[in-house]
Amino acid sequence: MRCPYCGSDDTQVKDSRPAEDAAAIRRRRSCPACGSRFTTFERVQLRELTVLKTDGRRAPFDREKLARSIRVALRKRPVDEDRVERIVNGIQRRLEMEAETEVTSRQIGEIVMETLKEVDQVAYVRFASVYRNFGEARDFRAFLGELDGK
């Protein structure tokens, strides 16, 4: 593993332990060249996923982008980081198991909304406002009306 600080190829694993409910391995590493310490995670990847964007472009699935969007929706909500990791892991596993090698951004968005609806209503509305591109207050009112009607 290359050191993110100095670029040296010679790093050493100091500690390994299970992480994310044993779905990953967390490794503490050190670099003898510059003395820096850093953490890496090793996860099982069932298959390579490609995301088909709404404009027709294709991009590799980016787990960190998914995690960032969920963290933004959950910002200042009573949901801890471990729960966020479990949510992201669950969504990624579901995509890898259910989908073909290509998944649409719409499918990902719907799964995230479905998941956030169960976790936190405020985060669900926040995510929906970006995902469904709310432009005015009436868009929120209509969406909340749908939410109350269910």
Helix (H, G, I), strand (E, B) or coil at 76: coil
User: Rounded to whole angstroms, how far apart are CA atoms 83 and 79?
Assistant: 6
87: burial class by Cβ within 10 Å (0-12, 13-18, 19+)?
buried
**Each residue of 113-129: pLDDT tens digit?**
999 989 988 898 888 88
pTM score > 0.75 for this model? no
98: burial class by Cβ within 10 Å (0-12, 13-18, 19+)?
exposed
User: Which pLDDT band holds residue 46 (cuts at 50, 70, 90)?
Assistant: low
